[in-house]
Amino acid sequence: MYWSPDCVENVVIGINGQFPGPTIRALAGDTISVELTNKLNTEGVVIHWHGIRQFGTPWADGAASISQCAINPGETFVYRFKVDKAGTYFYHGHYGMQRSGGLYGSLIVDLPEGEKEPFHYDGEFNLLLSDWWHKSSQLQEVDLSSKPFRWIGEPQTLLMNGRGQYNCSLAAAQFINSSSSICEFRGNEPCAPQILHVHPNKTYRLRVTSTTALASLNLAIGNHKLVVVEADGNYVQPFSVDDMDIYSGESYSILFTTDQDPSKNYWISLSVRGREPKTPQALTILNYFPTSASKLPTSPPPIAPLWNDYNHSKAFSNKIHARMGSAKPPTTYDHRIILLSTQNSIDGYTKWAINNVSLVLPATPYLGSIKYGLKNAFDHKNPPEDFPSDYDVMKQAPNPNSTYGNGVYMLSFNSTVDVVLQNANALAANVSDIHPWHLHGHVFWVLGYGEGKFTEEDEAKFNLKNPPLRNTAVIFPYGWTALRFVADNPGVWAFHCHIEPHLHMGMGVVFAEGVDRVRKVPNDALTCGLTGKMFLNNKGH
């Protein structure tokens, strides 16, 4: 549908006429049922419920070619799943690059009646953060799949709850050295900022989620401290910061106290991290009662840390620990997989690869082909679990060529799995990107981060005392990140970089565990590929 997320009319993927999609709210223990009808005339669609474990319902995970077939135009698919844990989650498209096209919304799970959070607050707000291009997601897909490769460039605008401002700024010209004019709103425009209205001397919970396609972000509220209390639906030991980083696929709850001069308003700012910012800061206003919301803050918006100040980002990540009393990880692992992320060339196309395999998803969803033992649906050879020991992660690869693959890492049910994500130099010299990795169907403990190439000695640095539980973790440039999880959820699960262009270019792997324990998969999840043909043949007999 036509929409103006940043005051420039464009096409977005809407849900029920809304952008972003409607916020879904439930209580822990509830079963959510979503009837999704695809009204996109020429594209399939799925929705992934990001951070929901899908215990017992792996076909409802919403990952095209992994847990289900894409829903055809005109068809309806019912997602029915239980939300067992309170927290801040979201949902988004997981087919092609539809998340870039605006297919996302918030999913908030509250504690059941009678239970209390381990922290007090007087009111709450929700911020769903995204980035926006004026070029359509379909054209971006063609750019990335072209020979020679065409990079999509940086987003035009950062959005808060689907609202941003292109070519105008809320901050007066005296604060921002740019040619953009002051934004003027009547208040009902789809790009008018959502103002956060607060009363003095109260504590508020701000739920913050990033569904960006590319941008890593930094959030700050002028003159206010942020106390982080939740990450990806898991309680963390509270800690206070002036600003916080948030990567695509992550969610947080932060508490802030309205202890500033109530005759003023304050900026809430969002800035790009880890890539040279060519996208202006996004701004909205924290409005103190009884001050008028139209009164602009008298001080400039918070200045973001330098985009490449990785020490600032690492310091934030290293402050995140599980809340005292949280479950501790198993002390040893059964199975370790080391995954090297590289940018490669295949037949002149630019791709991303993991252990030199660039993921191309098959026509038949893995959940069906593994469950029904279909031999020709994907490559049954085990993908590589490590990379050559002489590979220098700090330099350009002597041979940039790679191969396509669609193999699956078969994990023993209930085993403890360690994954070490290893970053490296990209195709260009002296370039190594930030990659936030998201695991479907599980939470993992983040055991630690390190510089350079991971070695056995690094194991001694693992935090087994209070590592945070997450569903998304970042690898920093030229660094490694170590994760541990228990393969306790029967199904087939994606594990991939949450940067939309990178996933599209092959940056992901697939894990399967206990598929023989999955009860009958609904046929309408598997109507394509070899499973679809199998059902047709069965009907013919």
Say if residues 336 and 484 touch (Cβ distance below 8 Å): no
Confidence of residue 538 (pLDDT cuts 50, 70, 90): confident
Residue 183 has a pLDDT of: 87
pLDDT band, very low/low/confident/very high, at 67 (cuts 50, 70, 90): very high
Check residue 537 and give its pLDDT: 85
Superfamily for 118-318?
Cupredoxins -  blue copper proteins (2.60.40.420)
Q: What share of the chain is helix, strand, coil (3-state, %, to 5)?
A: 10, 35, 55
pTM: 0.97
Task: Return the percentage of the chain with pLDDT > 70, whole number.
Answer: 98
In this prediction, residue 179 carries a pLDDT of 63
Whether 57 and 51 have beta carbons less than 8 Å apart is answered as no
Q: State mean pLDDT over 488-507.
A: 98
Confidence of residue 184 (pLDDT cuts 50, 70, 90): confident
Q: Per-residue confidence at 541, pLDDT binned at 50, 70, 90?
A: very low
Length of the chain: 541
The pLDDT of residue 534 is 92
Rounded mean pLDDT, 151-155: 96
At residue 476, the pLDDT reads 98
Task: Render pLDDT for 191-210 as a digit per residue (tens, 0 to 9).
Answer: 999 999 999 999 999 999 99
Task: Check pLDDT > 90 for residue 173.
Answer: no
Q: Average pLDDT of 151-163?
A: 97
Q: What is the pLDDT of residues 334-386, one digit of tens each?
A: 999 999 999 999 999 999 999 999 999 999 999 999 999 999 999 999 999 99
Q: What is the spatial distance between Cα 229 and Cα 255, in angstroms, rounded to a whole number?
A: 7
Cα–Cα dist 128/105, whole Å? 8
Average per-residue pLDDT for the chain: 96
Q: Which fold has domain 335-533?
A: Immunoglobulin-like (2.60.40)
State how far Cα 311 lies from the chain centre.
22
- Domain limits, CATH 2.60.40.420, in the chain: 118-318, 335-533
Both tokens of 20, joined, read 């972003």
Q: How far apart are CA 480 and CA 336, in angstroms?
A: 14
Question: How far apart are the C-alpha atoms of 522 and 59, rounded to whole Å?
Answer: 8
On the question of pLDDT at 278 being above 60, the answer is yes
- Three-point CA angle 333, 59, 72, nearest 5°: 140
pLDDT of residue 517: 97
Asked whether residue 540 carries a pLDDT value surpassing 70, the answer given is no
Identify the band that residue 171 occupies on the pLDDT scale cut at 50, 70 and 90.
confident
Give ∠ CA 289-291-294 in degrees, rounded to 5. Answer: 120
* 216-225: pLDDT as tens digits: 999 999 999 9
174 pLDDT higher than 80:
no
Buried b (16+ CB within 10 A) or exposed e, 463-486: beebbbbbbbbbbbbbbbbbbbbb
Position 292 pLDDT exceeds 50: yes
541 by Cβ neighbours in 10 Å (0-12 / 13-18 / 19+) ranks as exposed
Q: Are strands 234-241 and 226-231 parallel, antiparallel or unpaired?
A: antiparallel
CB contact at 8 A, 531 and 368? yes
* Burial (0-12, 13-18, 19+ Cβ within 10 Å), 531: buried
pLDDT of 172 > 70? The answer is: no
Q: Measured between alpha carbons, how far is 246 from 88 in angstroms, rounded to an integer?
A: 14
State how far the Cα of 283 lies from the Cα of 280, in Å rounded to an integer. 9
Residue 176 has pLDDT above 70, yes or no: no
* Beta strands per DSSP E along 314-455: 335-346, 349-354, 357-359, 403-405, 409-411, 416-422, 435-439, 444-451
Mean pLDDT of 236-265: 98
Q: Which of 462, 469, 53 is nearest to 230 (CA)?
A: 469
Q: Quick one: pLDDT at residue 167? A: 86
Range name among 28-32, 168-172, 242-246, 305-309 with the lowest pLDDT average: 168-172
What are the angstrom distances between the C-alpha of 291 and each of 65, 195, 197, 367? 52, 13, 10, 56
